[in-house]
Amino acid sequence: MTAAPSPSFDRITELTTDQLRARLPEALQIYVTAMNYPPATAQQRAPMWSAHMLRAGWRCIGAFNDHDELVGLGYGYLGAPGQWWHEQVRRGLLSSGGDAEAWLDEYFELTELHVYPGSQGVGLGEEILRRLLAGAQGSKVLLSTPEGPTRAWRLYRRVGFGDVLRNYRFTGDPRPFAVLGRSLPLEPR
């Protein structure tokens, strides 16, 4: 396992698919560390992240320290019928009486947003989120996050995300998740 990069960040920029592919091991290390997943999870997720890069409306924002090490990233794309997450959320909304048609039409799926733990708490996650959503297509944004009081929860609430579906269990993961959403664009700070 490689050591975590220094916690400071020097620049935040949009990444192309080629740029993220070149840094995929770094990006997946952030994901595994931030989510406290077993290291082997990175190898399992790599093909999925690569497939996501091919979806309509995909965009990615990366944050780098002064040694050009990736310390945070966020990406997403336009959600659509037939995509795994879309179908899972649709099923959950239909079974809970939620308004699947209203939420699952013309939305940007905020798929991943992760910051190394040592770089959290200084506004980096919010800056990545705001830059990512500033150029996102769609009239709204949706995301899922594990239930519980975390920095991610505080961030999402602070920028206006509301409940769409709570305590939902995605296929293959026993933890309860919340699906949160809001309209786009975000209000300025």
Structure confidence at residue 57 (pLDDT) = 98
Active site residue 156: yes
What is the spatial distance between Cα 78 and Cα 84, in angstroms, rounded to a whole number?
13
Q: With contact defined as beta carbons under 8 Å apart, do 108 and 79 qualify?
A: yes
pLDDT at res. 173? 87
Q: Would you state the pLDDT for residue 172?
A: 85
Q: Where are the domains of the chain?
A: 11-183
Which entry of 75, 107, 156, 168 is annotated as an active-site residue? 156
Q: List, in order, residues 6 or more apart from 99 with CB less than 8 Å away.
A: 93
Provide block-wise average pLDDT over 10 residues at a time, the chain (189 residues).
59 97 98 93 96 98 95 98 98 95 97 94 95 97 95 95 97 93 95
Q: Which architecture, in CATH terms, is 11-183?
A: 3-Layer(aba) Sandwich (3.40)
Is residue 72 packed enough to be buried (19+ CB in 10 Å), middle (13-18) or exposed (0-12)? buried
Q: Report how far residue 93's alpha carbon sits from residue 144's, in angstroms, rounded to the nearest whole number.
A: 13
Strand 59-64 and strand 140-146: pairing?
A: unpaired
Nearest of 164, 153, 148 to residue 109 by alpha carbon: 164
* Amino acid identity for residue 64 in this structure: F
pTM: 0.93
